[in-house]
Amino acid sequence: METTLIILKPDAVQRGLMGRIIARFEDKGLQIVGAKMMKIPMALAERHYADHKGKGFYDGLVKFMTSSPVLVLAVRGLGAIAVCRKMMGATFGSKAESGTIRGDFGVSNSFNLIHGSDSPEAAAKELGLFFAPGEVVEFARPVDQWVYDYGKGAPE
């Protein structure tokens, strides 16, 4: 099992899509183990997107991410990073496949609704930026026996 960071960006919050997006993750069988609504401070946005500093879109991205509240989620599941990224769809809404979050809810190439960690290393770093110790609460769910096949002792 792995835990990944998901951010429902200002456009998703302002458009009232939070519940519909969360429901997609839960319907898939993923577990929400942390949630926090916040307005990202400038310094945190700059740290989160530090790898993009100097790129043409960096200033606009930081401004956008600090412009309005976001919903930050810790999402857990088997292969959660890859599963969430597939569910998110291509970066640009205009190019995202129908059936994905961006494909179903977005058309903009700037406002793309959602962020998801792209690797286990990024997830660990990003979760540490947005959640303090104890704010991500992992707990057993009886329904997991119906989400994953435990026939061999470990979830498949």
Q: Is residue 145 part of a domain?
A: no
Q: How much is the pTM?
A: 0.94
Tell me how far apart the alpha carbons of residues 111 and 106 are, in angstroms, rounded to a whole number.
Answer: 8
- Residues 49-77: tens digit of each pLDDT: 998 999 988 999 999 999 999 999 999 99
Assess whether 115 carries a catalytic annotation.
yes
Tell me, yes or no, whether 49 lies in a domain: yes
Domain holding 121: CATH number?
Answer: 3.30.70.141
147 vs 79: CA distance, rounded Å? 13
How many separate domains does the chain show? 1
Q: Does 139 map to a domain? A: no
Residue keyed to tokens 């429901």: 23
Task: Show the domain range for 120.
Answer: 2-132
Choosing from 93, 115, 130, 131, which is the catalytic residue?
Answer: 115
